Amino acid sequence: NAGVTQTPKFRVLKTGQSMTLLCAQDMNHEYMYWYRQDPGMGLRLIHYSVGEGTTAKGEVPDGYNVSRLKKQNFLLGLESAAPSQTSVYFCASTVVRDYYEQYFGPGTRLTVT
């Protein structure tokens, strides 16, 4: 199993550009999450999904949209990037029935200039 993978690993955007980050998991997990981590800080939850076709807002959802059209994929979109969105983005997933841990991806480092 590949676990949780994220695409791309690095990206530089100009202010106002848009992009989509892809998270994929091959563990058949129901729940998926998007976090951001700023320097010296812990992770903050952006959006999450409890199943295919459902999404919900987390702690810092403004400026982001998400979609979960397939169970294994969770997409994070930035419609009009801002420098404040410069961060490292982590995706995670978990299985609900035996929930003990979230499995995290390797992260996407995004810089908005």
Partner 1 sequence: DAKTTQPNSMESNEEEPVHLPCNHSTISGTDYIHWYRQLPSQGPEYVIHGLTSNVNNRMASLAIAEDRKSSTLILHRATLRDAAVYYCILRMIRGSEKLVFGKGTKLTVNP
Q: Which residues bind partner 1 (CB under 8 A)?
A: 4, 31, 33, 35, 40-45, 48, 50, 58-59, 90, 92, 94, 96, 99-107
SS3 98: coil
| Shortest Cβ 85–partner 1 spacing (Å) | 18
Closest to partner 1 by CB, 22 or 45: 45
CB 44, min distance to partner 1, A: 7
d(CA 9, CA 47): 19
Q: 62 or 100, CB closer to partner 1?
A: 100
Tokens 């994220």 sit on residue: 6
Provide, rounded to whole angstroms, the least separation between the CB of residue 80 and partner 1: 26
C-beta of residue 45 within 8 angstroms of C-beta of residue 57: no
- Closer CB to partner 1, residue 67 or residue 104? 104
Q: How far is the CB of 79 from partner 1 (least distance, A)?
A: 24
- Total residues belonging to the chain: 113
Question: Residue 63 in contact with residue 38, Cβ under 8 Å?
Answer: no
- Mode of pairing for the β-strands spanning 108-112 and 10-13: parallel
